[in-house]
Amino acid sequence: MTKTDLFDVKGYGVIVTGGASGIGLAYSEALAEHGARVTMLDVNQERIATETARLRGFGWDVRGEVVDVTDKPSMHRVFDETTALYGRLDVVFANAGIDPGPGFAGWVSADVDARPQEYAIENYAEERWRHVLDINLDGVFTTIKAAARNMKSRRSGRIIVTTSIASTTNTGGIGAAYMAAKAGAAHLMRNAALELVGYGINVNAIAPGPFITNIAGGHSKIPAVQEEFSKHLPIKRMAQTEEIKGLALLLSSQASSFIVGVEIAIDGGSKLLGGG
């Protein structure tokens, strides 16, 4: 097998949840650009339509479906239909997630009393807690479940969960629910990896650090926030979503044949500062 063959995903059937923006869109682009057939799932109909049209304009095999990961019947229906359409399901990114916390601006504030008190543990709304876990943890469970059901018959596949460095590192400002959900998703990934590896299905996770995306209300796109946040990073800058594509391709391809149950941080050295 040549080096090119190791990373070959041409013809693969791929599903990406939260696939029409941010890191999910980068996953979709990375696989589609290398010849995979990609179905992007997202709750935003306009975004799905726009990005599907844009990627098809490059000649890539991409389709979009408006699906909420909390809608279990719809998720299973779309997974079954996509597998039937492609005749195979090779790679699934369990990526959809939200962060309703105060965002990066809250993280860099040293004055604890200046942080939004609605995110203090004693004030944290039950509705916010449940909503985050429904998407960031239960949604991952539903995605893995639907993927496994469609991969087992071929005894082959890759499931890649988007966690976060927040799964192992305590960080203020992003909210208790987000951190708990990402830690749960990381442990769920390891459990699924142990169970599914015997069926030829490798389950792993990508744990992003400070990427510039729409999450946390898009705070990371504000230049002043980027500048302040970057001061706390060893690499002294935040990441562009393009920088996650290489890792996505690695974990999707035969190059990752012996990588099982691993959560790989891509964080510019953030974890070197301690916490996990």
Known catalytic residues are 178
Q: Between 22-33 and 45-56, two packed helices, what is the crossing angle to 10 degrees?
A: 30
- Look at residues 38, 152, 172, 168 and name the one whose alpha carbon lies nearest to residue 102: 172
Q: Hey, is 157 helix, strand or coil?
A: strand
Which pair of structure tokens corresponds to residue 211? 């990427």
131 vs 12, 57, 60, 112, 170, CA distance in Å? 33, 35, 34, 25, 21
Contact criterion met (CB below 8 Å) for 146 and 76: yes
The pair phi, psi for residue 234, each rounded to 5°, is: -55, -35
Secondary structure percentages of the chain, helix, strand, coil, to 5: 50, 15, 35
d(CA 79, CA 85): 10
Contact criterion met (CB below 8 Å) for 62 and 79: no
The pair phi, psi for residue 266, each rounded to 5°, is: -130, 90
d(CA 135, CA 151): 23
Q: Residue 19 has what DSSP assignment?
A: T
